[in-house]
Structure 1
Amino acid sequence: MLLAYHAAHLLLSMLPPVQTWKALDHTHSLCLDLTVKSQSGPGHPWYEVQASVDKKPVFQYDSDSSKMKPLGLLGAKVNATKAWTELTQTLGEVERELRMIMSDIKLENSMTRGPPTLHIQLSCQREAERDAAASWHFNINGQPALLFDAMNMTWTVTSPGARGVKEEWENKGLADYFRRISMGDCCHWLREFLEHWEKVLEPPVPPKKVPDADQSLPMSSIACIILGVIVIISVIIVICCSISRKLAQRSPKKPKEALYQEARLSSPALLSV
């Protein structure tokens, strides 16, 4: 029985602690960093895009090649998908639209530093399987200029020198265009990428490795392990009982006469009788 107890204790100590499964953070974001230059030299594209999902690089795009170059594990997963093709086409359309926008930018003296360079950060988010937010941040010549909230269709002027730019873009109806790109296309790309993103996040399981203490096993695996422990303990108990019975059967019982004779030999008082 003592052997069975120690065996059970050893097996149970090998079991990882049962932990409650914690839901992953379901807030995800796609961010496009666009740089548009009114003038550029040879070998320096005037239009460049860097994209990331949850701050992990996915691809880069420039006006010289008009192609997207995949980056990281996610980029390698999605570069042959339909969303990848759609995104390439849309970035080409945005390129042409931004070129026309750059030609109309008229800055006040506080923001004039040579030919204007426009840096744009387009981002969209999803939370709990629904679109959560989408926005455009515009920097002109390295200075924050405008913020467009695509959810509420509102503009915020972050630099006094950009008031004229805001009025010009409002008159041209660019708010509707920016909303369509961010709330429509951006959110669609994010949904498509997330289907592959979960597969990328799954770590490979090394063979024959005992789970760490901070990892949790499925309930079915834990139940199988506990059942195995019970079976092993039962087998050990049966074996111990069987051995005990065999040892008892091998020990011969002495008759009463032999026991009485041994007692007389060991006691002087009985020898005198």
Structure 2
Amino acid sequence: MVKTAGSKFCLVFPVLLLLDCTWAAPCFWARGDAHSLHYDFNVTANRQPWCKVQGQVDEKNFLFYDCGSKKVICMNHLREDINATKVWKDQIDTLCHVGDLLKQQLPDIKLEKYPDSVPLTLQARMTCECKANGRTSASWEFSFNGQRYLLFDSKTRKYTVGHPGGEQIKEKWEHDKELMAHFTKISLGDCQEWLPALVHWEKQVDTTAPTTTVPNTAPPTKAAATAHSKASTVTPIAWNLPLFLTCWIIMYVL
């Protein structure tokens, strides 16, 4: 059966609704600390390696991944211990999927500044954070050949244009509900799930071994800087409880 636009929306809507519930859940595990997880993707259509990924926990490199060869360089001596865990495997599988997803977008992107003869490089930074007050945030930043064009806020699911050439990309991606669902699920769902485990491993590394350096794949521009306050705060549990119940009831009805 061919999927219509309506059927696609019916499949995407429960996913986005569930992520709204996930968004409402504070990150209790952080205990007043602020933590962040970044993945920087460099994707080029006609060049090898066509996709490189660098991962950072709290601004410290911990992973370098080649999507083509599926080669992983782990930045610490705990690789043998964590390589067999579900979180690590899920992370690598998702990074491979994101590389393919971003590569699929390149043929449809035409930028006036860059002629067809110039290889187009898409740089994407995915960020998920647990703030000191217990709240979470997530976003995607998209750059082309070093120039930031678009920012996607995973909470509001809104695109913000950072360059005039990004307007046509914004219009196209705004109408692609499946692509939006992927961006939202990966940054608000998967990334937030990996963050506690990666912070735990990183803390172990800090007390046992130095961090290894890797080739820099980060975009030349960054999203707005995040304050890393260490002040302890009280999470508003009473405020979140009605939202939890509402989300649960809606998902049960669906």
Aligned equivalent of 1:45, options 33, 44, 49: 49
Cα deviations by residue, 1:226-262 (Å, 9 ceiling, x for unpaired): xxxxxxxxxxxxxxxxxxxxxxxxxxxxxxxxxxxxx
Distance 1:90 1:96, change over 3 A: same
Q: Distance in 2 between matches of 1:73 and 1:88?
A: 18
Structure 1 position 129, deviation (Å)? 8.2
- Structure-1 separation of matches of 2:141 and 2:78: 25
Aligned residues of 2:32 and 2:134 also touching (Cα < 8 A): no
- Structure 1: unaligned runs, 5 residues or longer: 1-22, 205-273
Cα shift at 1:133:
1.1
What percentage of aligned pairs have identical amino acids?
Answer: 37
Q: Which has the higher helix share?
A: 1
The alignment's C-alpha RMSD in Å is: 2.5
Tell me the alpha carbon deviations over residues 157-200 of structure 1, each in whole angstroms, 9 at most, x when there is no partner. Answer: 00001111111111222222111110011111112212323333
Larger radius of gyration: 1
Shift of the alpha carbon at 1:203? 6.6
Q: Which residue of 1 aligns with 2:33?
A: 26
**Residue aligned with 2:149, SS:** strand
1:200 aligns with 2:187: no
CA contact (8 A) 1:29 1:125 kept: yes
Q: Matches of residues 82-101 of structure 1 in structure 2 within 5 Å?
A: 82-101=86-105
Tell me the SS of whatever aligns to 2:187. helix
Assess if the C-alpha contact under 8 Å between 1:117 and 1:141 holds in 2.
yes
Please show how residues 1-273 of structure 1 align to structure 2 within 5 Å: 26-40=33-47, 44-72=48-76, 78-107=82-111, 109-110=112-113, 112=115, 114-128=118-132, 130-173=134-177, 174-202=179-207
Separation in 2 of the partners of 1:106 and 1:181? Answer: 26
- Once residues 150 and 160 of structure 2 are traced to their aligned partners in structure 1, the CA distance between those partners, rounded to angstroms, is 6
| TM-score normalised to structure 1 length | 0.59
Indicate how the Cα distance of structure 1 residues 67 and 56 shifts in structure 2: closer, same or farther if over 3 A, else same.
same
SS at the partner of 2:113? helix
Decide whether aligned partners of structure 1 residues 61 and 143 sit closer, same or farther in structure 2, where only a CA change above 3 A counts: same
Aligned residues: 178
Letter in 1 for 2:61: P
| CA deviation string 1:188-230 (max 9, x = no partner) | 11122123233333479xxxxxxxxxxxxxxxxxxxxxxxxxx
Q: Which residue identity does 1:110 align to in structure 2?
A: K
Paired position in structure 2 for 1:263: none
Q: Name the TM-score, length of structure 2 as normaliser.
A: 0.63
- The C-alpha deviation readout for 1:83-132, integer Å capped at 9, x for no partner, is 1111111112112211211121122x235572311001111111348452
The structure with higher relative contact order (CA 8 Å, sep 6+) is 2
Stretch moving more, 31-40 or 74-83: 74-83
Where structure 2 has 5 or more consecutive residues not aligned to the other structure, the ranges are 1-29, 210-254
